[in-house]
Amino acid sequence: MLIQRLTIIGVGLIGGSLARALKQENVCGEIVGCGRNTVNLQHAIDLGVIDRYDTHPANAASGADMVIVAVPLGTMSQIFAAIRETLVPHAIITDVGSAKATVVADARQHLGQFFPHFVPAHPIAGTEKSGVAASFAQLFENHRVVLTPLSETDSRAVALVTTMWEKAGALVSQMSVEHHDKMLAATSHLPHLLAYSLVNTLAKMGDRAEIFSLAGGGFRDFTRIASSDPHMWRDICLANKDAILKALKHFNNDLAEVAFALSKGDSQQIESIFTSAKTARDKFCG
């Protein structure tokens, strides 16, 4: 058995899907869930996602071989502080946060002697839905999981976290904390910010009922992620604000270029911009 006792703090879409995948692969002896909502936790038991639960992080982490922290970024520090005293000496701690610099700082501050056992991780997978009811075992199949270990991170811990994610079907890679946050600001955090902003813009228009009734598939595809958990994305944007603001500045400059070309009726420039975008997307995302 790869992990005798696994504790997942935050049994939602990500934590629940990972639990399902690991159960499917018989990776864990026992999975303990933790959260504040007992109704959600009991539902996780009823669905067979976890084996038991505790609402106190310290109790849930006690005796665990691995602890996965899958809570909003703004809550990470208090979870790390709560579990430190009950961790067994060999325990490995990891997370699923979308921004890594703040998580690493919180772990360094609160985990004490366990900090070398902490492996920062980010599964680049998800849906706009949330909660354990939305979880499914195939969520991570052929999706990337990025680990951002530090120089002091224990190699055994990195190896075990890597194997765990590979058992869930993920493609695991490594990069620095700084590079991760820069890349994800552009490819994930900025698109969410734009989707939320576009929906808000249309919702403020006087004829919004008609606008949304006429919205087609393109609008639904582009704004699907605006149905994501606002609390979670608020924390992500604040945690990675510097990198997001830099990406937003680049976007605003390019958007201004489109607006200028449109105002001048410059069909050649507009088509050139659109062609460049299509070529890039077809090449890298086709």
CA torsion through residues 53, 41, 55, 108, sign: positive
> Average pLDDT of the chain?
96
Rounded-to-integer distance, Cα 104 and Cα 88, Å:
21
Tell whether the model's pLDDT for residue 264 goes beyond 90: yes
Helix axes 190-203, 241-263, angle to 10 degrees: 60
Q: Which of 6, 17, 37, 12 has its CA nearest to residue 170?
A: 17
Rounded-to-integer distance, Cα 212 and Cα 39, Å:
34
Burial class (CB within 10 angstroms; exposed 0-12, middle 13-18, buried 19+) of 133: middle
Domains plus CATH for the chain?
3-175 (3.40.50.720), 179-285 (1.10.3660.10)
pLDDT value for 283 = 93
Query: For the whole model, what pTM was predicted?
Result: 0.92
Residue 184 pLDDT level (bands cut at 50, 70, 90): very high
pLDDT value for 213 = 86
